[in-house]
A and B are shown apart, each in its own frame.
Chain A
Amino acid sequence: MAKIIELKKVNKWFDKFQALKDVDLEVNQQEKIVICGPSGSGKSTLIRCINRLEEHQEGQIIVDGNEISENTKDLEKIRAEVGMVFQQFNLFPHLSIIDNCTLAPIWVKKMPKKQAEELAMKNLERVQIADQAKKFPGQLSGGQQQRSALARALCMEPKIMLFDEPTSALDPEMIKEVLDAMVDLAKAGMTMIVVTHEMGFAKEVADNMIFMDQGQIVEKAKTKDFFENPKSDRTKLFLSQIL
């Protein structure tokens, strides 16, 4: 399968603090990767570097054949191909759910309004929230908001989806509805990189698992091996604490 994301020796500092140390990573098309690790280990920073919400200082990040650096001209085009779902949903509170979904297709992809609305409804149905399309984000529950955010990202028809702890801000009973939507998406063949602590989800969906600590990738393994037979002691300790 073709490589779609490639990171080579990526280093990133926040002032003196080194957030990423020599991170190497390859992601193939349709591959699902789950990244886990303790807080502050650099998992979020890693995926935020992939669409350059954070800037890396050293190394190469190549997304779909384009290197991402400060010289990248078509950064917006690349970002349009990389969907992202945030921990805090980040829906636009001044727009209704359907407008949240159609805004970027209309203004960034220059899609006709009618077509954008059809696309939005299709994606809202996909995450089972079509009946809330006319409401504003503030009127929805956390789980509904996160599913709307997922639909909004899908409306750009991205090649890759990044998930930054999508269920961490949700009540326990709402986590499942969001995870279900993500499982459906995975089954449909989307390339996904997911930062999460939901190990049940990881076991069900992930092809590969990555464990990070202190800015480094400590272990990368097939999902089955990762859970049954972790190699490093740090991974074992982490798994014993959360499982």
Chain B
Amino acid sequence: MNLSILKPDKKNLSSFIAAGSILVFVAFIDIIFNSFFNSNITEFLPNKISYISPLLFGLLGLYLIRIEFSGNKLLDKINTNFNSSNFNALLTLLVIFTLIKYIPPLLNWFIFDANFAGNTKDDCTSSGACWVFIKVWLNRFVYGLYPDTEQWRINTAFLILFLLVGASFFVPQKLKKYIIIFLLFIYPIIGLKLISGGDFGLKYVETGAWGGLSLTFIVSAFALILCFPIGTILALGRRSQLPAIRYTSIGFIELWRGVPLITVLFMSAVMFPMFLPDGTYVDKLIRVLIAITLFEAAYMAEVVRGGLQALPKGQYEAAKSLGMGYWRMHFLIILPQALKLVIPGIANTFLALVKDTPLIFVVGLLELAGMVNLAKTNPKWLGMAMEGYVFAGLVFWVICYVMSRYSQNLEKKLKTER
């Protein structure tokens, strides 16, 4: 038998395309029937072959339509991008088949078979996710155990924050400076006072009651704002000519980098109060904030130091030759360039910080993931772990993705050279 007839060529283009397309079509029909209707149309084949039959059909079909420079634009595109060799054809089929097989069940769980209506666990009758759980607990997931009647204070604090941040993007350069200074130095005090209360006729709400997503934001924001300057100073300290400063910085950085965050948090909660004189009390949340800040500052220091080391010596010399002292040289010349170089690293540290916040559960503070953890152990809502963690994961993903995109934009915006 002459097998060369099976070698695809341009002469019999249309018949090869027809044969190939039919085979690929059969392959898809097979996999679709298999995953949606639970029926196997290739049952007549031996068991093992039946199992991989879509792949076999697909491969054969793709082989038949692999004709170079066929003149058919669509076909050429498919061939160069998905079907350039047998191996690539196999990968293409595997990816598509995996998607067909696993996306629909996921979608079913998330949306089509999910329960949205109702107020109790018993309302969740169909097989998909029980989003009722999230709906009922959403208030707690956002505000923690903060009293319902006082929640407007958190809303106001965050609304002001977002308005200010938003405004800083649109106002002229000159005003922007003041807004940023206000945001960094004055707003945190106002915001904290508003949320914690105790003065101005606001009811005092102890930090143990704070929680949920708002606590995630509070902890992240404070740690982010504080760890950045501390890290920068540590990085400069580690490169200092003065041994006392250098060794202090090295010691600090290596100490904090060498200890797991969870240990640090335990220490701040359990050990730290023992060192305080009797009668003094430092709020749990403040202790945790300081612990996280110092911990992340050590990482930040090493990121910034990487940027400092990447700068050519000539930049330091040029700055010095113009009569700049240490601080002017660093603030005007060195840091602006070094920090720009390490934006990806800084973003990395910030993302890690946000995702580290759930660890504050060890001192009894429950942010978003902690609240989910708490809610799923409620006797009325047992078995909702999946929904809760998927929800928490999605929220964290959105936060981190926004930060990541922002860092990429910043990188592009600040790019001036090279």
The answer on A and B forming one complex is yes
Q: What residues of chain A have their CB less than 8 Å away from a CB belonging to chain B?
A: 51, 53, 76-77, 79-84, 86, 88, 90-94, 103-104, 107-109, 136-139, 149, 152-153, 156
Stretch touching chain A among B23-31, B323-331, B359-367: B323-331
A137-B417, A138-B417 are contacts. A108–B315 as well, Cβ < 8 Å?
no
B418 at interface by CB-CB < 8 Å: yes
B104 at interface by CB-CB < 8 Å: no
Closest A residue to B417 using CB positions: A138
15 more CB-based (< 8 A) A-B contacts, given A107-B324, A136-B416: A53-B321, A76-B323, A77-B323, A79-B322, A83-B321, A86-B314, A90-B314, A92-B315, A92-B333, A92-B337, A94-B340, A94-B414, A103-B333, A104-B323, A108-B322
Q: Is the CB of A90 within 8 A of B320?
A: no
> How would residues 190 to 201 of chain B score, 1 for a CB under 8 Å from any chain A CB and 0 otherwise?
000000000000
For B332, list chain A residues within 8 Å (CB): 103, 107
Q: Is the CB of B322 within 8 A of A156?
A: yes
B202 at interface by CB-CB < 8 Å: no
In the complex, what distance in Å separates the CA atom of A133 from the CA atom of B333?
A: 19
Q: List 7 A-B contacts (CB under 8 A).
A: A76-B324, A82-B321, A84-B318, A88-B312, A104-B322, A108-B322, A108-B323
> How would residues 384 to 418 of chain B score, 1 for a CB under 8 Å from any chain A CB and 0 otherwise?
00000000000000000000000000000010111
For A104, list chain B residues within 8 Å (CB): 322-324
> How would residues 302 to 344 of chain B score, 1 for a CB under 8 Å from any chain A CB and 0 otherwise?
0000000000101101111111110010001100110010000
A88-B314, A93-B337 are contacts. A138–B416 as well, Cβ < 8 Å?
yes
In the complex, what distance in Å separates the CA atom of A103 from the CA atom of B329?
A: 11
CB of A146 to closest CB in B, whole Å: 12
What is the size, in residues, of chain B's interface with A at 8 Å between Cβ atoms?
22
A107-B332, A108-B328, A136-B416 are contacts. A92–B318 as well, Cβ < 8 Å?
yes
For B328, list chain A residues within 8 Å (CB): 107-108
Q: Is the CB of B322 within 8 A of A152?
A: yes
For B320, list chain A residues within 8 Å (CB): 51, 53, 79
In the complex, what distance in Å separates the CA atom of A29 from the CA atom of B414?
A: 43
Count, A-B residue pairs, CB within 8 A:
75
Closest A residue to B324 using CB positions: A108
Q: Is the CB of A79 within 8 A of B321?
A: yes
Q: Is the CB of B417 within 8 A of A93?
A: yes
Closest 3 CB pairs of A and B: A80-B323, A138-B417, A90-B318
In the complex, what distance in Å separates the CA atom of A138 from the CA atom of B318?
A: 16
Q: Is the CB of A91 within 8 A of B318?
A: yes
For A103, list chain B residues within 8 Å (CB): 322, 332-333
In the complex, what distance in Å separates the CA atom of A156 from the CA atom of B319?
A: 12
For A51, list chain B residues within 8 Å (CB): 320-321
In the complex, what distance in Å separates the CA atom of A174 from the CA atom of B57?
A: 66
CB of A158 to closest CB in B, whole Å: 9
CB of A86 to closest CB in B, whole Å: 6
For A109, list chain B residues within 8 Å (CB): 323
Q: Is the CB of A93 within 8 A of B322?
A: no
Please pick, from B317, B322, B323, B418, the residue contacting A138 in the complex, using a CB distance under 8 A.
Answer: B418
Q: Is the CB of B321 within 8 A of A84?
A: yes
For B416, list chain A residues within 8 Å (CB): 93-94, 136, 138
In the complex, what distance in Å separates the CA atom of A149 from the CA atom of B315?
A: 12
CB of A15 to closest CB in B, whole Å: 18
For B337, list chain A residues within 8 Å (CB): 92-94
For B312, list chain A residues within 8 Å (CB): 88, 90
In the complex, what distance in Å separates the CA atom of A138 from the CA atom of B328?
A: 23
CB of A63 to closest CB in B, whole Å: 13
For B340, list chain A residues within 8 Å (CB): 94
For A153, list chain B residues within 8 Å (CB): 321-322
For B336, list chain A residues within 8 Å (CB): 94
CB of B82 to closest CB in A, whole Å: 40
Please pick, from A76, A88, A93, A108, the residue contacting B418 in the complex, using a CB distance under 8 A.
Answer: A93
For B323, list chain A residues within 8 Å (CB): 76-77, 79-81, 104, 108-109, 156
Among B312, B328, B332, B340, max chain A CB count under 10 A is at B332
For A138, list chain B residues within 8 Å (CB): 416-418
Q: Is the CB of B314 within 8 A of A94?
A: no
In the complex, what distance in Å separates the CA atom of A91 from the CA atom of B333?
A: 10
CB of B185 to closest CB in A, whole Å: 23
A88-B314, A90-B314, A107-B328 are contacts. A136–B417 as well, Cβ < 8 Å?
yes
CB of B385 to closest CB in A, whole Å: 49
In the complex, what distance in Å separates the CA atom of A217 from the CA atom of B63?
A: 79
In the complex, what distance in Å separates the CA atom of A83 from the CA atom of B325?
A: 15
In the complex, what distance in Å separates the CA atom of A169 from the CA atom of B125?
A: 77
Q: Is the CB of A53 within 8 A of B317?
A: yes
Q: Is the CB of A90 within 8 A of B417?
A: no
In the complex, what distance in Å separates the CA atom of A91 from the CA atom of B417?
A: 11
Closest B residue to A83 using CB positions: B321
CB of B160 to closest CB in A, whole Å: 33
A93-B418, A94-B340, A138-B417 are contacts. A80–B322 as well, Cβ < 8 Å?
yes
